[in-house]
Amino acid sequence: MKRIVVIFTCILLFACITFGGVVDFTSPAWTIVEEIDNVTVTSTTTSVDDLDRDETTYVVEAAADQSISLAGDFFHRFEMQMSDSLNASYIIYWAVAESEGDRAAIIGRSEDLVLMRITNSVGTLGFGIYTVEDGSFVVNDTMTVTTGVTYYVTVYRDDDGGANSTGQYTVWVRTGSHIGTLVDTLTVDASAGEQNDYSYIYSLMGVGDAGGGATADGFTQNMDLATTDITSHLLRVRNQ
């Protein structure tokens, strides 16, 4: 009986979400910053070829331009893939931040950032969600992924959740579709004791550090953004 209630709650949770429609990356509201002309956007896809760790590269939009809020509770979903990888390569597929820039620039300004990335560590690809508070990495949760596989990602922010009631991010990673095979569920708290409202949403971000010779190809596609009033107790019931 308990399992039936959990399954029903999960179905109810996702059925109640009204997503706003796939964003158009070719809209003038999206800004593309690239060093070597290796970013391609279509209406539904942001892709990059040979993104090196030392490049200043990102695709970003101000939340106000998308008529969405990055404050309070929200759901986002997208698809991602790392199709090729060399050495300690690193692609950020989704991020919310206070300002524009690559990872190194935002951290250098001692700002807040939440990001989801795939990186290559000694031939093993790891996907993870990371929180950065005042320019310092605070907490993360990670899993192993495979080159050439498209993953369907849904992230939910419960703005009052987490250990300090300052925010919790839950990430569902699936294959096949957004209701396909569940590969893993990741969870991180905004553990620095402050609730953050963000102003910018990213479909691609590079590291921008001094490391060269670490390149990767990949894409983010079908990004759908939603703000919802669904109460967080539905998620908590799922875990009972």
**pLDDT reported for residue 88:** 85
The CA distance from 22 to 18, in Å, is 12
Q: What is the mean pLDDT of residues 76-85?
A: 95
Least confident of 41-50, 66-75, 186-195: 186-195
Global pTM value = 0.86
Name the residue with tokens 């919310």: 96
Beta strand pairing call for 168-175 and 151-158: antiparallel
172-225: per-residue pLDDT in tens?
Answer: 999 999 999 999 999 998 866 678 889 999 999 999 987 778 899 999 999 999
**pLDDT reported for residue 20:** 59
Average pLDDT, the chain: 85
**pLDDT reported for residue 68:** 77
* Ordered domains of the chain (ranges, CATH): 20-228 (2.60.120.200)
**pLDDT reported for residue 211:** 72
**pLDDT reported for residue 163:** 82
124-134: per-residue pLDDT in tens?
Answer: 999 999 999 88
Q: Report the C-alpha dihedral over residues 49, 52, 56, 58, rounded to 10 degrees.
A: 40
List, as own/partner pairs, every contact residues 97-100 make where C-beta atoms lie below 8 angstroms and the sequence separation is at least 24, other chains included. 97/198, 97/199, 97/200, 97/202, 98/196, 98/198, 98/199, 98/200, 99/199, 99/200, 100/31, 100/33, 100/58, 100/60, 100/200
